[in-house]
Amino acid sequence: MNATIPTTLAQGLDAIVQTNAPLAAHTWFGVGGSADMLVQPKSEDALRELVRRCFMENLPVRVLGSGANLLVLEEGVPGVVVKLDQPAFTQWTLRPDGDANSVLAPAGVDVLKLLNTCVREGLDGICQMAGIPASMGGATRMNAGGKYGCIGDAIQAVATMNNRGAITVHPRNAIQFSYRHSSLPQELILWTLLQFTPDNPDTLRTKMLEIYKYKKNSQPLAENSAGCLFRNPIAQDGTRASAGRLIDLAGLKGFTHGSAFVSAEHANFVCVHKNGRANDVLELARIIQDRVRDSQGVQIEMEVAVWGRSFEPKEKM
């Protein structure tokens, strides 16, 4: 274990703890290095105590969701990585407090599994998430979505925990959602309250499958990829330009760098071959940015988070 982490950090915690933990299998790219420590708390109390201890030791804390929007470099990740995949953080509650059209979803909930359940229950509100792999915490943080809408469309409240373990509930009217962004503080997301509209389950199933079919036909869902690598930039008229189209116009569809390549199906998807290198993905991303800037005069920014010892997280807890 890295010498900067005290051996007593996780002592007595109700959690699964692994040191020098490989993270590749926890990400959709399937490549990359290890975390100094990976902790999977089994309760909210264990999570609270862990973040308190990390704060006292001045250790960075990163939360790993579904790994669908993340690139972990071979150099590894310093500090503590928290994964909320134990039952206390993955079991949602339909109709909490007697509200017939709401769902309380902890941060570790698989959004696609929740979507399927809501469709069966005749609850409409997150069909726009069809084909978008995400945990509820990660989806809420970045207001995940696409052509058909965003998760923020259905959010009514969010609970966060700060680095001292204090919990705050943020009502919808106190949260601003925009393209791949929420105004939530840089704290750990505990749960999200979603509001739905009743509808016919068969109608919702058709709607969900149509959205999924569109994504399947236009995106390389079977490849090792983190989804769209770049944010759609703001065009001169104030609208969002398609990063994929800009990359295509730069002649980069199918372009390869080491073990990484630009998808021939959708140019904003960068994929990596099995047993490839995360650094190849990062280097290819930089090549794409340079080519798009030189040919189109537009600077595109990465949407995918990059973790590594040489990378300070843009958003700290």
pLDDT score of 53 more than 60: yes
SS3 161: strand
**Nearest alpha-carbon partner for 48 in 160, 169, 193:** 160
pTM over 0.95: no
Q: What average pLDDT does this structure show over 85-111?
A: 94
Give the separation between CA 61 and CA 10, rounded to whole angstroms: 13
Average pLDDT over the chain, rounded to an integer: 94
Least confident of 42-46, 94-98, 168-172: 94-98
Query: Regarding predicted confidence, which is higher, 221 or 253?
Result: 253
Give the separation between CA 2 and CA 5, rounded to whole angstroms: 6
pLDDT score of 46 more than 70: yes
User: Confidence band (pLDDT; 50, 70, 90) for 236?
Assistant: confident
Is 232:305 a contact under the CB 8 Å cutoff?
A: no
Is 296:236 a contact under the CB 8 Å cutoff?
A: no
> What's the pLDDT score for residue 65?
95
User: Confidence band (pLDDT; 50, 70, 90) for 288?
Assistant: very high
Q: Tokens representing 141?
A: 């943080």
Rama region for 165: left / alpha / beta (φ>0; ψ in -120 to 50; rest): left
Is 224:28 a contact under the CB 8 Å cutoff?
A: yes
- ∠ CA(181), CA(151), CA(270), 5° rounding? 65
Q: What average pLDDT does this structure show over 245-273?
A: 96
User: Confidence band (pLDDT; 50, 70, 90) for 247?
Assistant: very high
**Nearest alpha-carbon partner for 310 in 107, 73, 91:** 73
Walk me through the domains of the chain, giving residue ranges and CATH numbers: 15-87 (3.30.43.10), 90-204 (3.30.465.10), 222-300 (3.90.78.10)
- First vs last Cα of the chain: how many Å apart? 22
> What's the pLDDT score for residue 7?
85
* Nearby residues of 1 by Cβ (< 8 Å), 6 or more positions away: 7, 19, 20, 36, 37
Q: Which residues are catalytic?
A: 180, 228, 303
- What tens digit of pLDDT does each residue of 120-175 get? 999 999 999 999 999 999 999 999 998 899 999 999 999 999 999 999 999 999 99
> What's the pLDDT score for residue 218?
81
Q: Tokens representing 283?
A: 């280097």
> What's the pLDDT score for residue 49?
98
Give the separation between CA 212 and CA 130, rounded to whole angstroms: 5
154-166: b or e for each residue (b if 16 or more CB lie within 10 Å)?
Answer: bbbbbbbbbbebe
Q: What average pLDDT does this structure show over 24-53?
A: 97
